């Protein structure tokens, strides 16, 4: 009798053990135990030093630069003059040259409800030499200069470091911590990839566009000295027909010009650039992307154009994540995933960065493209041709952190944590890149999460997929 009881208990233990193992297999990776305060950070007041208007009549402010062409030989310099249009000319020169060149830009203004913008200037400087340091200025009396490092010539083994100040930055005390943390990171980014939701001015009554101006002055300390690559998020839509504002993206597209025509796009909301060893495609989560739409038609021809022998690293930026295991914004990216994921896998996109969810998450390489409505194959599976999805919507805006997570952690989720921070994507050569995520509470060099990425095209273990590419 006792023997029978012991045997039954042993079988029961085996069953429980098996079930625990099964649960372990089904569950995903790491949910960080790091517990940060979840106080919602207030916006910095208008008289904060980071918003200070520069002294002097009509002094240029809100200076920011971005890539100005498809190849990386041009830069767009943008700035605002508050009192009158002033000069459209940018003078620029290299460190080792006394010869100054000049480029002329355009100036525009816009109205939004009861707000009228300052004079917004956009000037494209073309034909930059590769790997060169340029100084630029507008008007000698202001002694304000930008500093531009032109990128190296595109090539497969060119090392290059991209920063990711998370999208969803806003202008709170936490936003300021994130930007400072990024600036003081010893692994400095050379160019910043920004994944949407900039100023959060639409959270104010009547979308108070003065908060676009404060945001422009806040980011100038970084964006005037290294290119920020722009992606539009939902807080850029600014669609408010109740106050007569029915043209989506009006403030964003007036203030932030991008080189979309250079990649044959018809909209500044989706475009592509090459930079060093990376090919970067920017998509719009809030523009039509279904079949036959302008964005779909453009994207359909974009991926086959990427020459991975020249730019091995294929990066996609969008605002709404396709794989997200937080409760907040859960499955909002699902329709875009259904449309575009088969292409991401077919063309072996290396990594997709998104924001929107105010937290951090890194996925395993998974795909979910086998489902055909009747076959029941609707679970993500491990897929080495699939991208790594990194959600980095943790800039620090006034809406606070997304702390609620789906439970248990799904198998596609490798690491997740509800903290503000920034990322560094460090391309070493054609086969290896390193990604590190830094939370704001740690020392500047500390990484809370990191991963090596092996290139989808050049990874030696993927010889067969190279051949079939
Ligand atoms: Fe968002």
Tell how far the Cα of 392 is from the centroid of ligand 1, in angstroms: 11
Tell how far the Cα of 178 is from the centroid of ligand 1, in angstroms: 17
Axis crossing angle, helix 173-183 with helix 210-223, rounded to the nearest 10: 20
Among the ranges given (186-195, 332-341, 401-410), the one the predictor scored with the smallest mean pLDDT: 401-410
Among the ranges given (15-24, 128-137, 336-345, 459-468), the one the predictor scored with the smallest mean pLDDT: 15-24
Tokens linked to 86: 């002033």
Q: What is the dihedral of CA 236, 436, 332, 192, to 10 degrees?
A: 20
User: Does the pLDDT value for residue 8 go beyond 70?
Assistant: no
Please give the biggest Cα pair distance in the chain. Answer: 100
Q: b/e string for 155-187 if b means 16 or more Cβ within 10 A? A: ebebebbbbbbbbbbbbbebbbbbbebbbebee
Tell how far the Cα of 234 is from the centroid of ligand 1, in angstroms: 5
Mean pLDDT of the chain: 88
Query: Global pTM?
Result: 0.90
Q: pLDDT of 339-367, one tens digit each?
A: 999 999 999 999 999 999 888 999 999 99
Which candidate in 329, 358, 422, 438 is catalytic? Answer: 329
Higher pLDDT, 412 or 139: 412
Q: Judging by DSSP bridges, how do beta strands 366-367 and 381-382 pair with one another?
A: antiparallel
Question: Which residues have CB under 8 Å from 138's CB, separation 6+?
Answer: 60, 79, 86, 87, 89, 90, 91, 144
Q: Judging by DSSP bridges, how do beta strands 313-317 and 278-282 pair with one another?
A: parallel
Q: What is the pLDDT of residue 420?
A: 86
Q: What is the pLDDT of residue 26?
A: 42
User: Does the pLDDT value for residue 235 go beyond 70?
Assistant: yes
Tell how far the Cα of 29 is from the centroid of ligand 1, in angstroms: 25
Q: pLDDT of 183-212, one tens digit each?
A: 999 988 999 999 999 999 999 999 999 999
User: Does the pLDDT value for residue 12 go beyond 70?
Assistant: no
CB 94 within 8 A of CB 76: no
Most confident of 168-177, 190-199, 389-398, 412-421: 190-199
Tell how far the Cα of 47 is from the centroid of ligand 1, in angstroms: 26
Tell how far the Cα of 413 is from the centroid of ligand 1, in angstroms: 20
Q: What is the pLDDT of residue 459?
A: 65
Q: What is the pLDDT of residue 418?
A: 86
Q: What is the pLDDT of residue 17?
A: 37
Distance CA 288, CA 145 (A): 39
Q: How confident is the model at residue 37 (pLDDT cuts 50, 70, 90)?
A: low
Distance CA 234, CA 355 (A): 10
Among the ranges given (96-100, 270-274, 352-356, 429-433), the one the predictor scored with the smallest mean pLDDT: 96-100
CB atoms within 10 A of CB 296: 15
Tokens linked to 405: 């997570």
Q: How confident is the model at residue 115 (pLDDT cuts 50, 70, 90)?
A: very high
Q: What is the pLDDT of residue 218?
A: 96
Distance CA 129, CA 149 (A): 10
Higher pLDDT, 389 or 149: 389
Q: Find the DSSP H helices in 27-61.
A: none
Compute CA 83 distance to the chain's CA centroid, rounded to the nearest angstrom: 33
CA separation (Å) from 195 to 168, 389, 456?
Answer: 8, 13, 22
Tell how far the Cα of 143 is from the centroid of ligand 1, in angstroms: 37
Among the ranges given (377-381, 407-411, 463-467), the one the predictor scored with the smallest mean pLDDT: 463-467
Q: How confident is the model at residue 411 (pLDDT cuts 50, 70, 90)?
A: very high
CB 164 within 8 A of CB 179: no
Question: Which residues have CB under 8 Å from 65's CB, separation 6+?
Answer: 75, 76, 77, 78, 146, 148, 223, 224, 225, 226, 227, 228
CB atoms within 10 A of CB 411: 19
Distance CA 242, CA 275 (A): 42
User: How many residues appear in the chain?
Assistant: 469
Tell how far the Cα of 449 is from the centroid of ligand 1, in angstroms: 23
Place of tokens 């709404």: 320
Q: What percent of the chain has pLDDT over 70?
A: 89
CB 124 within 8 A of CB 105: yes
Q: Mark whether 121 is an active-site residue.
A: no
Higher pLDDT, 467 or 238: 238
Q: Find the DSSP H helices in 279-368.
A: 294-302, 334-346
SS3 361: strand
Q: What percent of the chain has pLDDT over 90?
A: 68
Q: What is the pLDDT of residue 396?
A: 74
β-sheet with 106-108: strand ranges across: 61-67, 75-81, 119-125, 106-108
**DSSP label of 418:** -
Q: What is the dihedral of CA 217, 269, 185, 417, to 10 degrees?
A: 110
Q: How confident is the model at residue 461 (pLDDT cuts 50, 70, 90)?
A: low
Distance CA 247, CA 199 (A): 18
Q: pLDDT of 71-105, one tens digit each?
A: 999 999 999 999 999 999 998 988 788 788 999 99
Q: How confident is the model at residue 38 (pLDDT cuts 50, 70, 90)?
A: low
Of the chain, the end-to-end C-alpha distance in Å amounts to 66
Q: How confident is the model at residue 32 (pLDDT cuts 50, 70, 90)?
A: confident
Residue range 49-55: mean pLDDT, rounded: 93
Q: Judging by DSSP bridges, how do beta strands 191-193 and 228-229 pair with one another?
A: parallel
Compute CA 468 distance to the chain's CA centroid, rounded to the nearest angstrom: 30
Q: What is the dihedral of CA 438, 444, 447, 450, to 10 degrees?
A: 70
Distance CA 368, CA 376 (A): 11
The answer to whether the peptide bond before residue 408 is cis (omega within 30 degrees of 0) is yes
Higher pLDDT, 446 or 294: 294
Distance CA 116, CA 140 (A): 27
Tokens linked to 60: 């240029």
Tokens linked to 286: 């809030």
User: Does the pLDDT value for residue 460 go beyond 90?
Assistant: no
Question: Which residues have CB under 8 Å from 199's CB, separation 6+?
Answer: 170, 171, 211, 212, 214, 215, 216, 235
Among the ranges given (156-165, 283-292, 415-424, 438-447), the one the predictor scored with the smallest mean pLDDT: 438-447
């Amino acid at each position: 009798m006792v023997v029978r009881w012991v045997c039954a208990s042993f079988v029961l233990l085996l069953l429980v053990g098996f079930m625990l193992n099964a649960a372990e297999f089904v569950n995903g990776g790491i949910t960080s135990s790091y517990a940060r305060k979840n106080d919602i950070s207030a916006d910095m007041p208008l008289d904060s030093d980071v918003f200070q208007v520069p002294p002097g009549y009509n002094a240029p402010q809100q200076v920011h630069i971005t890539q100005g062409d498809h190849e990386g030989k041009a830069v767009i310099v943008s700035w605002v003059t508050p009192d009158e249009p002033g000069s459209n000319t940018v003078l620029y020169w290299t460190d080792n040259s006394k010869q100054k060149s000049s480029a002329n830009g355009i100036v525009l203004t816009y109205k939004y409800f009861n707000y009228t913008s300052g004079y917004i200037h956009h000037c494209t400087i073309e034909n930059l030499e590769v790997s060169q340091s340029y100084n630029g200025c507008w008007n000698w009396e202001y002694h304000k200069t930008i500093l531009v490092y032109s990128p190296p010539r595109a090539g497969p083994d060119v090392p290059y470091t991209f920063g990711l100040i998370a999208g969803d930055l806003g202008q709170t005390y936490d936003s300021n911590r994130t930007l400072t943390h990024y600036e003081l990171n010893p692994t400095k980014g050379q160019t910043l990839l920004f994944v949407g939701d900039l100023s959060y001015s639409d959270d104010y009554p009547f979308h108070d566009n003065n908060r676009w101006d404060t945001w422009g002055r806040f980011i100038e300390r970084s964006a005037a000295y290294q290119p920020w690559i722009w992606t539009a998020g939902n807080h850029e839509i600014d669609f408010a027909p109740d106050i007569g504002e029915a043209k989506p993206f009006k403030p964003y597209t007036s203030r932030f010009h991008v080189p979309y025509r250079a990649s044959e796009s018809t909209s500044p909301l989706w475009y592509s650039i090459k930079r060093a060893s990376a090919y970067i495609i920017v998509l719009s989560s809030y523009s039509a992307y279904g079949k036959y739409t302008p964005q779909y038609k453009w994207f359909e021809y974009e991926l086959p154009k990427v020459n991975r022998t020249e730019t091995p690293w294929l990066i996609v930026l969008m605002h709404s994540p396709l794989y997200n295991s937080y409760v907040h914004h859960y499955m909002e990216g699902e329709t875009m995933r259904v449309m575009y994921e088969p292409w991401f896998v077919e063309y072996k996109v290396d990594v997709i960065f998104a924001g929107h969810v105010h937290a951090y998450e890194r996925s395993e390489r998974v795909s979910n493209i086998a489902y055909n409505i009747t076959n029941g194959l609707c679970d993500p599976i491990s897929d080495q041709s699939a991208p790594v999805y990194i959600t980095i919507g943790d800039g620090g805006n006034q809406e606070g952190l997304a702390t609620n997570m789906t439970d248990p952690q799904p198998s596609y989720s490798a690491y997740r944590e509800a903290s503000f921070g920034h990322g560094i994507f460090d391309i070493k050569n054609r086969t290896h890149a390193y990604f590190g995520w830094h939370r704001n509470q740690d020392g500047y060099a500390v990484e809370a999460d990191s991963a090596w990425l092996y290139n989808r095209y050049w990874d030696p273990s993927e010889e067969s997929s190279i051949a079939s590419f």
